[in-house]
Structure 1
Amino acid sequence: MMLVVSTIKSKVLLSIAILRELNNKVNYYKSVVNKNIAQYNEYIAKTSKILPEKTRNVEREIESLKILHKHLDCVSIFLESIILRLETLTISGNAVAAAVALKDVIKILKKNMKYGPPILSVLVDRLNDISKSIILEIENSIEMKGMSVKVSSEALKIIEEAKKISGIE
């Protein structure tokens, strides 16, 4: 049983590392979006008097980019909050609770990453594979004791708090 817990803990820590990588990628894409917004604003400043009809299209693009930036910002805040709390759960010896919470976190991320850059979806899919593996291990070890895997109220509270802070659905 101790070996199973240690395996679960190591996989949860791997998942946390992937969450960090995902957050770094989200922050990178936020900076790319900011750079594009700045370039478009510069374009508008230079061409607004010459080609006013083209500036309207560019302004719409800027608005779209601002919406994307806001969404990426919300995802980043959510990830930062979740990473911190999952680390705390894992370090305090609740790796199983963190693993089960991770499953719900991945559902939220999948829902919120469908319109983002493909690399973000790839990382979420990788997390999903690891999470499924962890849950399978937990179920196999708990089957012997006749217990089922459920998200603890503590883990649900953590997820809901992170969603509220970030403004993510």
Structure 2
Amino acid sequence: MAYDLESFDEPFYDTASMRYEIDVTVPVAPEEAWAEFTRQNTLDWCRALTSVDFTSELPHHVGTTRSVVLAPGFIKMDEEFFIWDEDPATSTYRHGFRGVRVNIPGLRKFGEYTEVSPAEHGTRLVWKFAMELAGVGLPPVLSAPISNAAFGTVRTDTIKHFATF
């Protein structure tokens, strides 16, 4: 059974009740980082994910869709990108999606925003996660450590992945 998620706009990434942000410099060119975030089977370096598959044809743009399975494989989500900007002249790239459907109840909104841009030594990667639970959720004093631990593995895995280039 699928549960529809609510739509939102870009400000949600900074105003959601539950947020996590990764802001790091990785030792690769912005074009290489962007290619890793936009290829089929992207994020295969993240232990928190089982699979990430683009379900739209190339080239990707606003309206592109993706299907994601979180580890160990019980949670599945369909996503749609509503932000997709590529500026090769400035080596600045960004995209953002919102979850459209998920196979478990309890989530009202979920989205991610990714931006890569030049840094002094490589690429600045800004990766935002935003969500809102449906119904009663854990108080922030309990939910924050849980989400920080989960998203912390994504941060660690991403830094390790780009260090191997």
Question: Do both share a fold (TM > 0.5)?
Answer: no
Who wins on radius of gyration, i.e. which is larger?
Answer: 1
TM-score by length of 2: 0.30
